[in-house]
């Protein structure tokens, strides 16, 4: 399998074009080739010297925890400025006109994990839109989706009007089964942007990836793209596990198994595991445990909870499973359980869980005590219309593949 960065050296026309342009690079620590060489160094070896480096949430170096603003910096090797695209306000998420001045091209290489909450695809979209306004060409070096790309893995409804945010700037399913490049190609085409070689936006597609393959099937290591996304196992549960951010349950930050481990000081993990097992959702076992987060929610406190062990990755439904976790934990916890009301990803007036799920329906259903099965049906309906969008997005990238590879 070859990701976009692995194919770049075999695309001489594109490389020559980049050498002659003033390039900006949007990347992060997982922007590496199959030999684990960072994209910046690969570009330098090809004679392409980025003038400016942009970093998404967590930073260009990936050091920052979630929702922590990142300062600008300077690359110690080339002295190129590193401009953060994650600050203290929504407008800081896009590169400024000043930052893009004196540039001709934006190169994007970001590893994504296949869930609409994961903000890198939205950083890429905002950066590309800003670059297009500045008259720049944009090139996306695509990467495979570590939790699969087949339509049968899709979960979660599109957001309703009024519920778009940085954890979902455009209406898409929660688990969308697309690569970052496919998502960008589809959204840019909706904007009326031309997509293809030498056009406004070009996507260098992944070669040799079978869409049913998950990250552990690849012939290359999985490099963690953010501090709490250490493994493919984490990525697989994340479309459900991130929902915990909308509550006062620990999502396992501050442990060695974030998003797989969850709980709270007041939660009865044995009861939670038992009630989850009774639902007979496929592909996992919830093992009761106690744990002590070293930082983040409930830091230093002993929490009861469960670890979600995926036993059948092909059948596991992360969104449905973690919706069940929330509904049961709320019933067990009573007044001790609460939904997050503090500011979340630059939004003050909508509960975080509603932004994540794309509407208030599921939260209101939990509060009114509706059955877990009904809540799952509400969030994860069978949406046959998305199959056409999915196929179109995949085709946009494949159909626009370059023919000059050597």
Beta-sheet pairing, 137-141 with 261-264:
unpaired
Give the separation between CA 22 and CA 52, rounded to whole angstroms.
9
Give span(s): CATH 3.40.50.12170, the chain.
4-227+386-399
Give the separation between CA 171 and CA 163, rounded to whole angstroms.
9
Give span(s): CATH 3.90.1150.140, the chain.
232-379
- Predicted confidence at residue 403, as pLDDT, reads 60
- Predicted confidence at residue 404, as pLDDT, reads 65
Query: Domain 4-227+386-399 carries which CATH code?
Result: 3.40.50.12170
pLDDT digits (tens, 9 = 90+) for 214-253: 999 999 999 999 999 999 999 999 999 999 999 999 999 9
What single DSSP character describes residue 165? B
Distances (CA, A) of 50 to 43, 53, 132, 148, 196: 8, 7, 18, 32, 22
What tens-digit pLDDT sequence spans the chain (406 residues)? Answer: 999 999 999 999 999 999 999 999 999 999 999 999 999 999 999 999 999 999 999 999 988 888 788 888 999 989 999 999 999 899 999 999 999 999 999 999 999 999 999 999 999 999 999 999 999 999 999 999 999 999 999 999 999 999 999 999 999 999 999 999 999 999 999 999 999 998 999 999 999 999 999 999 999 999 999 999 999 999 999 999 999 999 999 999 999 999 999 999 999 999 999 999 999 999 999 999 999 999 999 999 999 999 999 999 999 999 999 999 999 999 999 999 999 999 999 999 999 999 999 999 999 999 999 999 999 999 998 788 899 999 999 999 987 766 667 6
Structural contact between residues 142 and 401, judged by C-beta atoms closer than 8 angstroms = no
Q: Who contacts 212 (Cβ-Cβ below 8 Å, separation ≥6)?
A: 148, 149, 150
Q: Who contacts 171 (Cβ-Cβ below 8 Å, separation ≥6)?
A: 158, 159, 164, 358
- Predicted confidence at residue 69, as pLDDT, reads 81
Structural contact between residues 124 and 26, judged by C-beta atoms closer than 8 angstroms = yes
* Tokens 């994340």, residue located: 238
The class (CATH top level) of 232-379 is alpha beta
Give the separation between CA 401 and CA 199, rounded to whole angstroms.
12
Structural contact between residues 106 and 131, judged by C-beta atoms closer than 8 angstroms = yes
């Amino acid at each position: 399998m070859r990701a976009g960065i692995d194919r770049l050296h075999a695309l001489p026309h594109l490389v020559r074009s980049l050498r002659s342009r003033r390039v900006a690079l949007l990347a992060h620590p997982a922007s590496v080739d199959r030999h684990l060489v960072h994209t910046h160094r690969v570009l330098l070896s090809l004679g392409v010297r980025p003038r400016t480096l942009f970093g998404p949430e967590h930073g260009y170096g990936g050091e920052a925890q979630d929702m922590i603003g990142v300062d600008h910096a300077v690359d110690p090797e080339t002295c190129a400025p590193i401009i953060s695209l994650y600050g203290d306000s929504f407008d800081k998420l896009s590169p400024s006109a000043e930052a893009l001045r004196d540039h001709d091209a934006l190169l994007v290489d970001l590893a994504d994990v296949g869930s609409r909450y994961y903000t890198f695809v939205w950083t890429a979209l905002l950066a590309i839109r800003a670059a297009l306004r500045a008259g720049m060409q944009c090139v996306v070096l695509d990467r495979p989706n570590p939790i699969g790309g087949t339509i049968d893995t899709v979960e979660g409804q599109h957001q309703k009007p009024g519920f778009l945010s940085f954890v979902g700037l455009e209406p898409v399913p929660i688990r969308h089964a697309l690569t970052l490049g496919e998502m960008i190609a589809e959204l840019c085409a909706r904007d009326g942007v031309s997509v293809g070689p030498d056009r406004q936006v070009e996507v260098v597609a992944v070669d040799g990836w079978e869409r049913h393959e998950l990250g552990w099937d690849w012939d290359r290591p999985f490099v963690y793209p953010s501090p709490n996304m250490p493994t493919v196992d984490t990525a697989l549960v994340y479309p459900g596990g991130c929902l915990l951010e909308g509550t006062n349950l620990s999502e396992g930050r501050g442990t060695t198994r974030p998003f797989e481990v969850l709980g709270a000081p007041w939660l009865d993990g044995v009861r939670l595991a038992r009630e989850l097992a009774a639902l007979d959702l496929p592909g996992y076992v919830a093992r009761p445990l106690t744990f002590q987060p070293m930082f983040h929610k409930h830091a230093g406190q002993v929490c009861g909870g469960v670890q979600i062990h995926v036993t059948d990755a092909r059948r596991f439904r992360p969104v449905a499973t973690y919706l069940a976790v929330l509904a049961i934990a709320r019933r067990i916890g009573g007044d001790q359980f609460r939904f997050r009301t503090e500011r979340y990803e630059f939004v003050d007036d909508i509960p975080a869980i509603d932004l994540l799920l794309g509407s208030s329906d599921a939260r209101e259903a939990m509060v009114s005590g509706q059955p877990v099965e009904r809540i799952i049906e509400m969030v994860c309906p069978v949406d046959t219309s998305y199959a056409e969008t999915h196929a179109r997005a995949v085709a946009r990238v494949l159909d626009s593949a370059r023919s000059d590879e050597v």
